[in-house]
A and B are shown apart, each in its own frame.
Chain A
Amino acid sequence: MNVIVCVKQIPDPALPGALDSSTNTLKRDGKLILDESDSYGVEMALQLVDKAGGGEVSLVSMAPNGEVSGLRTALAMGAAKAVLVSDPALQGSDALTTARVLAAAVGRIGGADLVIAATESSDGYTGTVPEQLAEVLGLPSVTFAKHVEIDGSTLKASRQTEDGYDEVECPLPALISVTAGVVEPRYPSFKGIMAAKSKPVDTVTAGDLGVDPVGWAGAGQQISDVAKAPERAAGEIVEDDGEGFAKIVSFLENLKVI
């Protein structure tokens, strides 16, 4: 079984982020790391391939400046190879262009039984790329997959919903999106880190993939303004007059958490 995982390389969230004031986009010119959200997809892919008893996990990523640090982390976890799309022309690409580029990269590797993406990245949060990617690839898509099993050429998944989960099935090849916490991502071992040094990363441009237009030119969006999130308002204080519990229950019910 061959699985391709889409991994994003993002600025280290532990460091203070910065916006480019001319484009209102996140500055991504420093060292990038593997988006933690994607480590779950990588782990799930490794487990599925392991269970299937053969095949390999490949990665696709789109990142500026030929950045490979985040890819090396996923390779150190056990993925076999990667396609990196890096091209100054990609700057300003919107979610749909990203999906087109990733789809072309998935096609370049070829032979995927399953494509895995995180439901959303930790730096951009559009949360739309996986479904767009499935559409461009013409694959069935199962979002919020929480538990996945492969039965022959059928994918069986528990799909997280607000009040439980759906059990869904679809034929392979397919695309799934996974949320954080569905599996416990392994730490890359030292041997994995050393082995990752010599695993192939095929670096290509948007042109090599034949995707055009890209970047600002292809974007159907424009970022007109970025505003600070409002300060959190003070919470509501419930004085317990003997009926405090009822107020708390109705408050939680309103939030639909119980």
Chain B
Amino acid sequence: MDLDFAPEHDALRAMVRDFAAAEIAPHAARWDQRSEFPLDVVRHMGELGLFGLVFPEAWGGGGGDFVSLCIAIEELGRVDQSVGITLSAGVGLGANPIYRFGTDEQRHRWLPDLTAGRALGAFGLTEPDGGSDAGATRTRARRDGDEWVIDGAKSFITNSGTPITSVITVTARTPEGISAFVVPAGTPGLTVEPPYRKLGWHASDTHGLILDGCRVPADHLLGEPGAGFRNFLAILDDGRVAIAALALGCARACLEMAVDYAVHRQAFGQSIGANQAVAFALADLDVAVHNATQLTYRAAWLKDQDRPFGREAAIAKLYATEAAVSATRVATQVLGGSGFIEDHPVARFYRDAKVLEVGEGTSEIQRLVIARHLGLPVHAGPADRR
């Protein structure tokens, strides 16, 4: 049994850590406060190969493994959760569906820019009337000659309105079931709504979309007609591990900041970390960070071995995201009043963490997935199609 990272994993971690410390940390508070999407940093991440990490060299990628991607997301997330989700969504939701389900012609057309980080892709699954219940998709696509005409609406779509967004893959109902279509940014009939005002992830780009008679050429259908539902479930398994890595970065940052504060902050003639009440809370947090680390990288490793990892992905996502939310609560408590002030990054992490328990499947949905793996006859409701 070998639980060590390879030397190139360590080298990648060191590089991303240095990059995040020098190019992201000094600006994270400003981007957050102004809800500014850090375009230059995203481009720089592209030049360093982060958006192409897991894709074969033939498509402009770096031929790396999934563990590497998780390392990059964790290290970015340790400094700025918004930048971490921008990478995670750009790779997992933007490029990955095209790589996994596209024809070579479609890959040629869209992947090289996405893997180089010159362009960003988005994935529109969630709708105003269906998030967890993605089978309830109401958006429709009908064939009209050489084109598909798409009508409907999508909610909360990450990376859908950045200056470099090139394509948005949307799911829509066709006679065969749910299908997926690549909609290039700027297609007439596609409206990208103004950005949401969010509790956290301020520097990440999120919009609602309206598709009103939106026409795309017939060859923009992605994958088999009717295979959209099955395909996006497969994509979500990867995404869950990536979100676990992002959550791990959040929890680790909180642990480090809280330990540092507990050592230096003096009260009643000693550092606050000399109190067991504080020290033990941090010891528990360290346990959670270790657990989240093992779960996340084991799930990623299973994927790299081409072994089933759906259950492990759900467990890692559930555990790491809930650990991250607790970690922000513990860290802000250890920091006292300072933890409530935006001058300290811990306040930003506190706001950013919550959505980890929601995106790419809520905690309840993860429990549902895990319970099913236990063979329990649990289902999501009368309309449960899975």
Contacts and interface: CB of A to CB of B under 8 A. Distances in A.
Interface of A: 33, 69, 72-73, 76, 187-191, 193-194, 196-197
Contacts, number: 43
A184 B50 CA distance: 20
Interface in B79-110: none
9 contacts: A69-B10, A76-B11, A190-B12, A190-B50, A190-B64, A191-B49, A193-B8, A193-B11, A197-B7
A196 B49 CA distance: 15
A188 B14 CA distance: 10
Contacts of A191: 49, 62
B160 interface: no
A187 B7 contact: no
Q: Interface majority SS on B: helix, strand, loop or mixed?
A: helix
Contact of A33 (B7, B14, B62): B14
A194 B48 contact: no
Contacts of B31: none
B47 A189 contact: yes
Contacts of A188: 11, 15
B68 interface: yes
A187 B19 CA distance: 7
B161 interface: no
B18 interface: yes
Nearest to B50: A190
Given A187-B48, A191-B49, A197-B8, A73 B14 contact: yes
Contacts of B121: none
Interface residues of B, number: 19
Interface in B51-98: 52-53, 62-64, 68
Contacts of A196: 8, 11
Nearest to B9: A193
Question: What are the 10 A-B residue pairs with the smallest beta carbon separation, nearest first?
Answer: A190-B49, A190-B62, A189-B49, A193-B11, A189-B48, A191-B49, A187-B19, A191-B62, A193-B8, A188-B15
B104 to A, nearest CB: 22
A108 B48 CA distance: 33
Given A69-B7, A72-B7, A197-B8, A190 B14 contact: no
B97 to A, nearest CB: 22
Contacts of A189: 47-49
Contacts of A33: 14
Nearest to B16: A187
A76 B12 CA distance: 10
Contacts of B12: 190, 193
Given A73-B11, A188-B15, 12 more contacts: A69-B7, A69-B10, A76-B11, A187-B15, A189-B49, A190-B49, A190-B53, A190-B64, A191-B49, A193-B8, A194-B62, A194-B63
Q: Interface majority SS on A: helix, strand, loop or mixed?
A: helix
Interface string B264-300: 0000000000000000000000000000000000000
A190 B14 CA distance: 11
Interface of B: 7-8, 10-12, 14-15, 18-19, 47-50, 52-53, 62-64, 68
A72 B12 CA distance: 11
A79 to B, nearest CB: 14
A214 to B, nearest CB: 28
Contacts of B53: 190
Contacts of A73: 11, 14
A163 B324 CA distance: 52
Contacts of B68: 190
Contacts of A194: 8, 62-64
A233 B8 CA distance: 45
A228 B64 CA distance: 46
A243 B180 CA distance: 76
Counting chain A CB atoms within 10 Å of each CB, the highest count among B12, B14, B50 belongs to B14
Contacts of B18: 187
Nearest to B6: A197
A55 to B, nearest CB: 24
Contacts of B62: 190-191, 194
Counting chain B CB atoms within 10 Å of each CB, the highest count among A72, A189, A196 belongs to A189
B47 A72 contact: no
A201 B19 CA distance: 26
A42 B63 CA distance: 26
Given A191-B62, A194-B62, A72 B48 contact: no
A194 B61 CA distance: 12
Contacts of B7: 69, 72, 197
A187 B41 CA distance: 13
A230 B180 CA distance: 69
Counting chain A CB atoms within 10 Å of each CB, the highest count among B12, B15, B63, B68 belongs to B15
A191 B51 CA distance: 12
Nearest to A34: B14
Contacts of A72: 7, 11
Contacts of B14: 33, 73
Nearest to A33: B14
Nearest to B68: A190
B48 A190 contact: yes
A190 B91 CA distance: 15
Contacts of B10: 69
A88 B270 CA distance: 45
A76 B49 CA distance: 13
